[in-house]
Amino acid sequence: ELGTKPALTQDLEGVTTATTFVLEQPRCIFGNFSKAVIWLVVALDKDAPAFNNSAEPGTPETAFQSFPNAVSAYMTLNATLASYPCPKPAGDITVLRVGSETSCATDVSRPTCNGPLPGPGPYRVKFLALEGSVPVAETAWSAPITLRTAKPLSSISTAGGGHSAGMIAITSILSILLAILLAALVAMLFSCGSDSCGSSTFSKPESVSVQRYNTHHVYDQAAARL
């Protein structure tokens, strides 16, 4: 047994979800076992001590589809040592997401499926190196890993206290603007209540009478002709 323990990564956000968790890859641990295939063993915390490391992967005894009812631990994510080069290349994110395969979760023909974890746990994991079916090295069990759980709908508050401060501020500003608009509209209606608002009065222009008259010299000229 190697002294190293698998651990959750510190390089990513969302290390644990409701059905998955992310581990650091086992780099520079199994360097003396170049011919081995490295497996990840996943067990419930309470069942980890009872795991038999001589159990073979890909059998009903270690099938993901029977975990955790009929199987206390399943084996998945097999890889050769070439997949875990040492030293780790600079800048590489070297992680394993446990529980990421959904397509094979109920496919009994794929007992080594890396399927979604069935509950919050807690779980423990270890890496096991096999040459053929013979265990040659293994890490210690990890610390317990607990997944996230969804919040029940009944626990979500619908009261005003559940609203964010930004939402409350926006609502207050909109209410004030609406009140100002209504006040301006009412004032306009009151000022235009009389008939004089918005209307014009036209008066008919007075008729102009022109008085006909004859100038006196016209009559004088006629008298002269007589």
What does the pLDDT average to over 147-169? 65
Residue 42 CA to residue 76 CA, distance in Å, equals: 8
Q: Name the residue type at position 128.
A: L
pTM, rounded to two decimals = 0.66
Give dist(CA 20, CA 100) in Å, integer.
6
pLDDT of residue 224: 46
pLDDT at 71: 94
Task: Please report the pLDDT score of residue 219 as a whole number.
Answer: 46
Position 127 pLDDT exceeds 60: yes
16 phi, psi to nearest 5 deg: -125, 140
Indicate whether 109 pLDDT > 70: yes
SS3 84: coil
Domain ranges of the chain: 21-149
